[in-house]
Amino acid sequence: MDQFVEVSKVIGMKQTLKAVKEGKAIKVILADDTDEMIKKSIMECCDHHQIALERVETKVGLGKAGGIDRAAAVIAIIR
Nearby residues of 35 by Cβ (< 8 Å), 6 or more positions away: 73
Residue pLDDT, tens place only, 41-62: 999 999 999 999 999 999 999 9
In a domain, 46, yes or no: yes
For the residues 21-26, what does the mean pLDDT come to? Answer: 97
pLDDT of residue 3: 67
Question: Percentage of the chain surpassing pLDDT 70?
Answer: 94
- For position 1, what pLDDT does the model report? 45
Q: Is the pLDDT of residue 4 over 90?
A: no
CA distance 36 to 33: 8
For residue 54, give the H/E element and its range.
strand 52-56
Residue 4 lies in a domain: no
Mean pLDDT of 29-33: 97
Residue 39 included in any domain: yes
Query: Which CATH number does the domain housing residue 63 bear?
Result: 3.30.1330.30
Total number of domains in the chain: 1
Q: 31 lies in which domain range? A: 9-78
Q: Is 29 helix (H, G, I), strand (E, B) or coil?
A: strand
For residue 36, is it within any domain? yes
Asked, for residue 44, whether it belongs to a domain, the answer is yes
